[in-house]
Structure 1
Amino acid sequence: MRVTLQPSGATFEAQPGERILDAARRLGYECPQSCRNGNCHICAALLVEGRVKQNGDVRDHGELFTCLAEPLEDCVLHWDGVLAPGELPLRHLACQVTLCQPVGGDVWRVRLRAPAGKPLRYHAGQYLLIEREGGHSAFSLASAPHEGRDLELHILAREGGAVKMVEQLRNSSTVRVQMPLGDAHLADLPDGPLVLIAAGTGMAQMHSLIEHCRAQGFAHPVHLYWGVRQPEDFYELPHWQEWQKVPNLHLHKVVSEPDNWQGRTGMLHEALCEDFADLRGLRVYASGSPAMVYGTLDALVEAGMDAHQMRADVFAYAPR
Structure 2
Amino acid sequence: MRVTLQPSGAVLELVPGERILEGARRLGYECPQACRNGVCHVCAALLVEGRVQQAGEVRDHGEFYTCIAEPLEDCIVLWDGVLAPGELPLHKLSCQLSECVEVGGDVWRVRLRAPAGRAVRYHAGQYLMIERENGEKSAFSLASAPHAGRELELHVLVREDSARSLIEQLQRNQMARIELPFGDTHLAELPDGPLVLIAAGTGMAQMHSLIEHCRASGFKHPVHLYWGVRRPEDFYEIEHWDQWKQLPNLFLHKVVSDLCGWEGRCGLLHEAVCEDISDLKAVHVYASGSPAMIYGTLDALVDAGMDAHQMRADVFAYAPRP
Which TM class, normalised by the smaller chain length?
over 0.9
Task: Report if the CA contact (8 A) 1:52-1:58 is conserved.
Answer: yes
Looking at structure 2, the residues matched to 64 and 77 of structure 1 have their Cα atoms a distance apart, in angstroms, of 10
Per-residue Cα deviation, 1:170-220 (whole angstroms, up to 9, x for no partner): 222111000011110011111111110000000000000000111111111
Looking at structure 2, the residues matched to 39 and 243 of structure 1 have their Cα atoms a distance apart, in angstroms, of 48
Per-residue Cα deviation, 1:245-272 (whole angstroms, up to 9, x for no partner): 1111000000001254121111111100
Looking at structure 1, the residues matched to 162 and 73 of structure 2 have their Cα atoms a distance apart, in angstroms, of 51
Amino acid at match of 2:70: E
Q: How does 1:155-304 map to 2 (within 5 A)?
A: 155-304=156-305
Helix, strand or coil: the match of 2:169?
helix
Looking at structure 2, the residues matched to 71 and 268 of structure 1 have their Cα atoms a distance apart, in angstroms, of 52
Distance 1:129 1:95, change over 3 A: same
- Aligned pair 1:119/2:119, yes or no? yes
Amino acid at match of 1:313: D
Amino acid at match of 1:42: V
Structure 2 unaligned blocks of 5 or more: none
Amino acid at match of 2:242: Q
Residue in 2 aligned with 1:4? 4
Residue in 1 aligned with 2:142? 141
Amino acid at match of 2:150: R
- Aligned pair 1:31/2:31, yes or no? yes
Cα displacement (A) at 1:318: 1.1
Task: Report if the CA contact (8 A) 2:260-2:266 is conserved.
Answer: no
Per-residue Cα deviation, 1:209-247 (whole angstroms, up to 9, x for no partner): 000111111111100000011111100011011111111
Instruction: Compute the TM-score of the two structures, normalised by the length of structure 2.
Output: 0.96
Looking at structure 2, the residues matched to 50 and 291 of structure 1 have their Cα atoms a distance apart, in angstroms, of 46
Looking at structure 2, the residues matched to 26 and 319 of structure 1 have their Cα atoms a distance apart, in angstroms, of 33
Helix, strand or coil: the match of 1:63?
strand
Amino acid at match of 2:82: V
Larger mean CA deviation between 71-80 and 99-108 belongs to 71-80
Amino acid at match of 1:108: W
Looking at structure 1, the residues matched to 74 and 300 of structure 2 have their Cα atoms a distance apart, in angstroms, of 42
Looking at structure 2, the residues matched to 296 and 127 of structure 1 have their Cα atoms a distance apart, in angstroms, of 22
Looking at structure 1, the residues matched to 40 and 281 of structure 2 have their Cα atoms a distance apart, in angstroms, of 50
Looking at structure 2, the residues matched to 196 and 102 of structure 1 have their Cα atoms a distance apart, in angstroms, of 24
Task: Report if the CA contact (8 A) 1:231-1:259 is conserved.
Answer: no
Looking at structure 2, the residues matched to 172 and 295 of structure 1 have their Cα atoms a distance apart, in angstroms, of 40
Helix, strand or coil: the match of 1:171?
helix
Runs in 1 of length 4+ with deviation above 4 angstroms?
none
Structure 1 unaligned blocks of 5 or more: none
Looking at structure 2, the residues matched to 298 and 60 of structure 1 have their Cα atoms a distance apart, in angstroms, of 50
Residue in 2 aligned with 1:19? 19
Amino acid at match of 2:249: N
Looking at structure 1, the residues matched to 309 and 73 of structure 2 have their Cα atoms a distance apart, in angstroms, of 33
Distance 1:319 1:49, change over 3 A: same
CA RMSD of aligned residues (A): 1.5
Per-residue Cα deviation, 1:130-189 (whole angstroms, up to 9, x for no partner): 001131000000001111000000000101322221121122211100001111001111
Per-residue Cα deviation, 1:78-131 (whole angstroms, up to 9, x for no partner): 112211100111000000011111111110000000001132111111100000
Larger mean CA deviation between 305-314 and 158-167 belongs to 158-167
Residue in 2 aligned with 1:102? 102
Cα displacement (A) at 1:39: 7.5
Cα displacement (A) at 1:16: 2.0
